[in-house]
Amino acid sequence: MSTEVQARIEGICRRMDHERKGTGVPGFLKLAFPIIGAAVVIYLAVFTNGEIHHSTRGPLVQQLNAVTGTANGFMYVWEL
């Protein structure tokens, strides 16, 4: 690769790099990451067997669970 092409690529990369040295992660991101993770875990725990307590969909979900069987906790774990 010629030095001119390499210099152009480095210039493009420098313009695309918006992270400044010495800056940390913003506080809201540090707080949002565990909150979103906890919300996902809670959602999976609550709705493992579907929305069985909903006024209109609940009976349908209960019938489907009766036919197919309820979901166990291992359905979310990747089997090797």
Residues of the chain with pLDDT under 70: 1, 14-21, 49, 70-80
Are 41 and 66 within 8 A, CB to CB?
no
Q: What is the pTM of this model?
A: 0.50
pLDDT at 70: 64
pLDDT at 39: 94
pLDDT at 37: 94
What are the distances in angstroms from CA 14 to CA 1, 5, 24?
19, 14, 19
Which amino acid is present at 18? H
